[in-house]
């Protein structure tokens, strides 16, 4: 086995030390098991030499059984039975202790991985498949527990091997030395196994993790799979990939079995040598038949630990490779963490200030560029702009899902980077564009907003979100179990449950991330009514493509190409010949759509159906400009707020101008 893998062994020790008493009991039982293994051949030797032969028995044996053969037979039989019984009892106790230690250590390590993965940045999860993370947490993490108990049998095998060799040397040095002939063969075969099986172990691990990823992907995308009738296609891909994994596992198992066979043949050859030389030693009267029996038992028992050690080394390699991959999760550091001197945010009034904030994603250096604005406590602010303008990135800064590359974000004048993550996120509620619900009961999903909420508080929150009536109409009411991602209720109902969760949290700052973008007009009216109540006395940010959602906004931020190009009231922005005016005219029908865009959904007035607004804004998006031109002086910003001068806005001259833009969303 490669030496580099041993560096992962220390990962095990901190978890074992959490259960010192259990580990000590395991070690004690291991030593006791080794001593009993040394004692097991001696009752047979007593029977052969002292009863069937003519050898004198030790004094302490004669004092118990006397000098009669019948007494010695009873002593030998009872001693053999008691030693075997005690060895079995110790074995059962050791199995219980090691299993308990294994499971607890595995559970602790798996729990740490699960907790750590939840702290990692969204960027990490975007680049890592869910199936791979699941495989590491659910399967490879258990190797830490297995490794913690694999050391004890290895130690027992070493102790037994040394003890038996010492006793065998005292009986007959020549036979003891002959027993070592097979050791070099076992050593080199173990080294060969380690070097040649390691890449196959890694390959099998990768293939099996990929199988889990494919299952997760297929079921998470089941609606798409079904809509396009691609069940057979996904099944074929799964079978092809699974067959490759099965073949790789079979080839690996064959090689592992061949290695075990090579070790077994080597030890069988060693026992044959001992039997041949030992028989001549008995004939030459150098040892007794009983002594030969003991040596044969010892050598056989010595080879068992050797076989165990060699197979254990192969098992160690598997465990350490698994630990390596599981440990890689822990080595990924969260991009956003608490500062060493971070303090609690405390009571929040709700004022928010963004000062000269820039942010860069990997491969995209201009996600946000010098954005500055301030929002008073209790104010409702709309956030609009083409797809990829930086709206979601800007909103991600508030709950510190990401930290700015430069500049700062402040709540009540306090820099978020000096505050604890928990206290910041406790003061912010988010209603996402797609309502994210657990496959649990409706009651549990709403209670997620505040875990200690009573049933009465949950129902009050549901009423405020206009959700109580449809919940009560369900056969099991609030105890209705939702499907995966809440699939058993409609999109509008899911959104109302998400709002009920936000009502229950009762945070002073609220982020609404396009909450009505995928909802029909009738449902939108119900949700907007609930949103009006949810926004009362809260500082609210409303991210929207559909401008009708912004009817309650006091002021509106307009972003484009990562820059804040406009910020003011609705009337101010309509009076300005800027991007907001263009978007408003397109959605209200004041500016006719080119034929190719109109055919996609047509213009939409405030409060119209969902498809039109989303299609129109998606078609428009970044296409209103061919790129970020150099800034020129623009209209004055509202009092007390610095806004960078906006770039010139280019009106589309044809349908080509509307459709040539880049529409990569930044989220």
- The per-residue pLDDT for range 103-119, each reduced to its tens digit, is 888 888 888 888 887 77
Residue 271: name the closest of 355, 179, 204 by CA.
179
Instruction: Choose one of 331, 365, 388: the last residue of a domain.
Output: 331
The DSSP bridge partners found for residue 541 are 381, 511
Q: Are the C-beta atoms of residues 562 and 360 closer than 8 Å to each other?
A: no
CA dihedral 235, 236, 239, 244 (to 10 degrees): -150
Instruction: Choose one of 296, 331, 366: the last residue of a domain.
Output: 331
Mark whether 224 and 368 lie in a shared domain: no
Q: Is the pLDDT of residue 207 over 90?
A: no
Domain-embedded: residue 346:
no
Mark whether 578 and 456 lie in a shared domain: no
Domain-embedded: residue 306:
yes
Residues 6+ apart with CB under 8 A from 564: 371, 372, 373, 557, 558, 643, 644
pTM, to two decimals? 0.62
φ/ψ (deg, to 5) at 4: -60, -25
Domain-embedded: residue 665:
no
Mark whether 102 and 121 lie in a shared domain: yes
Mark whether 451 and 419 lie in a shared domain: no
Distance CA 440, CA 438 (A): 5
Mark whether 238 and 111 lie in a shared domain: yes
Domain-embedded: residue 339:
no
Mark whether 90 and 193 lie in a shared domain: yes
Among 41-45, 54-58, 194-198, whose mean pLDDT is lowest?
Answer: 54-58
Angle between the N-to-C axes of helices 289-331 and 183-220, in degrees from 0 to 180, rounded to the nearest 10: 40
DSSP string, 77-94: HHHHHHHHHHHHHHHHHH
Mark whether 529 and 472 lie in a shared domain: no
Mark whether 562 and 583 lie in a shared domain: yes
- pLDDT confidence of residue 646: 41
Whichever domain contains 414, its CATH number is: 3.40.50.300
Q: Is the pLDDT of residue 604 over 60?
A: no
Q: Is the pLDDT of residue 209 over 70?
A: yes
Q: How do residues 558-573 score in pLDDT, each as one tens digit?
A: 999 899 999 999 999 9
Distance CA 185, CA 265 (A): 10
Mark whether 409 and 521 lie in a shared domain: yes
- pLDDT confidence of residue 307: 62
Whichever domain contains 235, its CATH number is: 1.20.1560.10
Torsion sign (Cα): 311, 315, 316, 317: positive
Domain-embedded: residue 336:
no
- pLDDT confidence of residue 394: 92
More confident residue, 594 or 358: 358
Highest mean pLDDT: which range of 280-289, 356-365, 378-387:
378-387
Distance CA 570, CA 572 (A): 5
Instruction: Choose one of 496, 528, 547: the last residue of a domain.
Output: 496
Residue 528: name the closest of 509, 538, 542 by CA.
542
Q: How many structural domains are present in the chain?
A: 3
More confident residue, 217 or 497: 497
Distance CA 365, CA 349 (A): 33
More confident residue, 98 or 212: 98
CA dihedral 240, 242, 247, 251 (to 10 degrees): 150
Mark whether 409 and 449 lie in a shared domain: no
Percent of the chain scored above 70 by pLDDT?
A: 73
More confident residue, 390 or 187: 390
- pLDDT confidence of residue 419: 92
Domain-embedded: residue 345:
no
DSSP state of 393: H
Domain-embedded: residue 400:
yes
Per-residue confidence band for 4, with pLDDT thresholds at 50, 70 and 90:
low
- Mean pLDDT value of segment 431-437: 81
Domain-embedded: residue 459:
yes
Torsion sign (Cα): 548, 554, 557, 558: positive
The helix or strand, by DSSP H or E, that contains position 244, with its residue range, turns out to be: helix 231-283
Mark whether 394 and 444 lie in a shared domain: no
Q: How do residues 23-34 score in pLDDT, each as one tens digit?
A: 888 888 877 887
Mark whether 451 and 541 lie in a shared domain: no
Q: 71: how many CB neighbours lie within 10 A of its CB?
A: 15
Sheet holding 406-411, edge to edge: 364-375, 352-361, 406-411, 414-415
Q: Is the pLDDT of residue 365 over 60?
A: yes
The overall average pLDDT reported for the chain is 75
Residues 6+ apart with CB under 8 A from 388: 561, 621, 622, 662, 663, 664, 665, 666
Q: Is the pLDDT of residue 593 over 70?
A: no
Residue 315 vs residues 285, 401, 609, 638: alpha-carbon distances, Å: 44, 41, 62, 69
3-state helix, strand, coil in the chain (%, to 5): 65, 10, 25
In which domain, by residue range, is 319 found? 3-331
């Amino acid at each position: 086995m490669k030496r580099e893998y041993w560096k992962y062994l220390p990962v095990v020790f901190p978890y074992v030390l959490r259960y010192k008493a259990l580990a000590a009991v395991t070690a004690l039982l291991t030593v006791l098991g080794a001593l009993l293994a040394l004692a097991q051949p001696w009752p047979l030797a007593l029977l052969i030499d002292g009863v069937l032969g003519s050898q004198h028995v030790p004094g302490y044996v004669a004092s118990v059984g006397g000098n009669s053969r019948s007494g010695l037979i009873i002593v030998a039989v009872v001693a053999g039975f008691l030693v075997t019984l005690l060895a079995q009892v110790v074995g059962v106790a050791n199995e219980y202790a090691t299993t308990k230690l294994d499971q607890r250590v595995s559970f602790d390590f798996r729990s740490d991985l699960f907790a750590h993965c939840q702290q990692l940045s969204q960027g990490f999860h975007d680049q890592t498949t869910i199936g791979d993370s699941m495989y590491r947490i659910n399967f490879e993490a258990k190797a830490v527990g297995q490794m913690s108990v694999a050391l004890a049998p290895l130690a027992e095998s070493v102790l037994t091997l040394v003890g038996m060799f010492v006793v065998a040397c005292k009986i007959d040095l020549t036979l003891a030395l002959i027993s070592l002939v097979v050791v070099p063969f076992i050593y080199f075969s173990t080294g060969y196994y380690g070097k040649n099986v390691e890449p196959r172990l890694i390959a099998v691990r990768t293939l099996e993790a990929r199988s889990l990823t494919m299952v997760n992907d297929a079921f998470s995308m089941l609606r798409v799979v079904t809509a396009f009738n691609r069940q057979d296609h996904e099944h074929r891909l799964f079978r092809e990939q699974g067959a490759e994994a099965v073949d790789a596992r079979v080839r690996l198992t064959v090689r592992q079995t061949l290695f075990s066979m090579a070790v077994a043949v080597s030890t069988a050859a060693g026992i044959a040598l001992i039997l041949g030389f030992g028989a001549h030693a008995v004939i030459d009267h150098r040892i007794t038949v009983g002594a030969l029996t003991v040596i044969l038992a010892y050598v056989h028992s010595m080879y068992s630990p050797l076989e165990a050690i060699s197979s254990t080394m192969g098992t160690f390699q598997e465990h350490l490779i698994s630990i390596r991959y599981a440990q890689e999760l822990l080595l990924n550091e969260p991009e956003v963490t608490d500062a060493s001197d971070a303090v609690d945010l405390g009571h929040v009034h709700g004022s928010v200030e963004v000062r000269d904030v820039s942010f860069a994603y990997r491969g995209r250096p201009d996600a946000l560029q010098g954005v500055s604005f301030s929002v008073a406590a209790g104010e409702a602010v709309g956030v609009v702009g083409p797809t990829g303008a930086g709206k979601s990135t800007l909103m991600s800064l508030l709950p510190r899902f990401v930290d700015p590359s430069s500049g700062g974000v402040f709540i009540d004048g306090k820099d978020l980077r000096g505050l604890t993550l928990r206290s910041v996120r406790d003061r912010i509620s988010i209603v996402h564009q797609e309502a994210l619900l657990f496959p649990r009961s409706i009651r549990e999903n709403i209670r997620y907003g505040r875990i200690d909420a009573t049933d009465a508080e949950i129902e009050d929150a549901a009423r405020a979100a206009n959700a109580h009536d449809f919940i009560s109409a369900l056969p099991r009411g609030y105890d209705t179990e939702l499907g995966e991602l809440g699939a058993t209720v409609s999109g509008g109902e899911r959104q109302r449950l998400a709002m009920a969760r936000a009502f229950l949290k009762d945070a002073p700052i609220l982020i609404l991330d396009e909450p009505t973008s995928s909802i029909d007009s009738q449902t939108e009216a119900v949700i907007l009514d609930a949103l009006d109540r949810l926004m009362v006395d809260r500082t609210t940010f409303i991210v929207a493509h559909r401008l009708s959602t912004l009817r309650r906004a006091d002021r509106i931020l307009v972003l484009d190409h990562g820059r804040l190009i406009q910020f003011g009231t609705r009337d101010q922005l309509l009076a300005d010949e800027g991007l907001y005016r263009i978007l408003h005219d397109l959605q209200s029908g004041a500016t006719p759509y080119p034929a190719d865009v109109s055919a996609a959904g047509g213009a939409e007035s405030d409060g119209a159906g969902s498809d039109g607004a989303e299609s129109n804004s998606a078609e428009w998006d970044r296409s209103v400009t061919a790129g970020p031109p150099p800034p020129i002086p623009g209209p004055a910003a509202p009092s007390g707020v610095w806004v960078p001068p906006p770039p010139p806005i280019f009106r589309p001259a044809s349908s080509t101008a509307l459709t040539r833009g880049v529409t990569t969303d930044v989220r």
